[in-house]
Amino acid sequence: MRHIPKILCLATMMLFLLPVVQKVKPFVEVQPLKGVYVHTEKPQLTFSSFVKGEWQKNADRYVKEHFGFHEHFIRLYNQCFWTIWHRPADPSPVLVGKDDYLFEPSFVNEYYTGCFNEFYPDSIPLCERPQIFHRRMSRLAKLQAILEEQGVHLFLALLPGKERIYPQYLPNPGPRTGNHTSKTQPRAYDLYRNSRYDFRRIDLCHCFDSLNGHTPYLLFTKTGTHWSNIASTYAFDSVMRYMQTFGPPIHPVTLGTPYYAPTREPDNDLYHLLNIMAPVPADSNLYVDVTLTGTRPGRNPSLVVIGDSFFWNILYNFPIQELFSDFRYWYYFSTIYYDPAHDKVADIDLVDELLRTDYVMLSYCTVQLYDCGNGFINRALLELCYDPGEIQAVRDSIAADTTSTLTIDQLIDKNLEQYFPAIAEPLPTKRCTKIAQQK
């Protein structure tokens, strides 16, 4: 009996040493946490940072993020919140609605208050933000006309958000749904729907509204933030049929008979973001397989998709690279996927990339529509209508004016036609050397 205290003390010491051993020489495989995290870099000790106290703060933050079994402790902490209060621990990218439907905060904000505050900086007054959206849509029409002359077919696909299809399951509005001060600001989709824009588009929001409640499958799963796999499959089949009304033919596909199967990615992506210890519920959902049928109509066309994460569901279900001879996914017009030669759109020759493409699809859900194109529309207009030297000269002249509180890109977005008047001309591409050489 007298050895029990010593044994307990030794066991306690070993328990506290385990995270140190795991960090120095890992002996247990640990699954990383789900979601996007900005990890603290290991701070460099300098005399200046030590005297100012910066190194101590950064070192403390680094140690908290990098000790052994950090992921296990986070999951245990989150599990306690989920088990006791049935809600995620703060801060969390997940909100729990009625009947355990999970939502991203942005989609809840979109329903109750709109998301202009999330996509437009405070330096731009609220009353000016709808005008910016309208200008962007008008420029999209101009860009579509310019590309059409070059044989490039640009169109917009509008996708519904979960808040639009299942508002009855949204959590009640409260402080955790955002910091909006106005409850009367417009929504981007309402601005689009109530205006007459002269550009090619397919409105899947309207389609999903009519399907809601009339399908044997969920349009959005309880545990996912994106449209369900099966809904996205049927939707993109419709998109491809629409594309062929104005562009080259695409290899025909057949959608099989729907069948039940255990839930697949990303139909449970929000549940994973809870980062709890409990396993994913063993639910099942309807799915449908896609197969190529018939004969290929000549060459396969090429496709560039610019948009948000909703397109990943399509990539999980469609043989995109077999349907299109050259497919590139410019994710939020930032990171490039399915292009072995490029990783970032900042590194590409945009004019060359567009001129060798048959279809350009802008794919945005209701929440992401506020920033439709993510800068693509302005950049494409400029580079199709001006040579790089002319664009840089204008940017330099804007930079010389230090009186404005807006950035150069914000000023160009606000006064694009003023800084670059050739865009409004009947033949705006006559200044582009690449297009002239191609002709």
Look-up: residue for tokens 């859900």?
365
- Among 71-80, 226-235, 283-292, 347-356, the range scoring the smallest mean pLDDT is 71-80
State how far the Cα of 355 lies from the Cα of 165, in Å rounded to an integer. 37
Residue 245 has pLDDT above 70, yes or no: yes
State how far the Cα of 336 lies from the Cα of 342, in Å rounded to an integer. 7
pLDDT at position 177 is 45
pLDDT digits (tens, 9 = 90+) for 368-426: 999 999 999 999 999 999 988 899 999 999 888 767 777 888 888 888 999 999 888 87
pLDDT at position 154 is 98
Higher pLDDT pick, 84 / 306: 306
pLDDT digits (tens, 9 = 90+) for 152-196: 999 999 999 999 999 999 998 765 444 444 455 789 999 998 888
pLDDT at position 276 is 77
Q: Is 1 exposed, middle or buried (0-12, 13-18, 19+ CB in 10 A)?
A: exposed
Residue 349 has pLDDT above 60, yes or no: yes
Type of residue found at 188: A
State how far the Cα of 165 lies from the Cα of 102, in Å rounded to an integer. 13
Confidence of residue 208 (pLDDT cuts 50, 70, 90): very high
Averaged pLDDT for residues 128-142: 92
Beta bridge partners of 363: 157, 307
Averaged pLDDT for residues 310-336: 96
State how far the Cα of 94 lies from the Cα of 271, in Å rounded to an integer. 8
Averaged pLDDT for residues 44-56: 70
State how far the Cα of 23 lies from the Cα of 21, in Å rounded to an integer. 5
Q: How far is CA 406 from CA 123, 148, 269, 392, 416, in A?
A: 7, 33, 37, 18, 14
State how far the Cα of 333 lies from the Cα of 362, in Å rounded to an integer. 10
Q: Tell me: cis bond preceding 91? Omega within 30 of 0 counts.
A: yes
pLDDT at position 300 is 92
pLDDT at position 203 is 95
Residue 281 has pLDDT above 60, yes or no: yes
- Among 203-207, 281-285, 359-363, the range scoring the smallest mean pLDDT is 281-285
Type of residue found at 382: L
pLDDT at position 176 is 43
Beta bridge partners of 111: none
Higher pLDDT pick, 80 / 290: 290
Averaged pLDDT for residues 220-227: 94
Q: Are strands 153-159 and 253-255 parallel, antiparallel or unpaired?
A: unpaired
Closest CA to 197 of 131, 133, 141: 141
pLDDT at position 299 is 87
Higher pLDDT pick, 5 / 194: 194
What percent of the chain clears pLDDT 90, i.e. is strictly above it? 53
pLDDT at position 28 is 53
Closest CA to 385 of 344, 428, 348, 433: 428
Q: Does the predicted TM-score (pTM) go above 0.95?
A: no
pLDDT digits (tens, 9 = 90+) for 417-436: 999 998 888 777 777 777 76
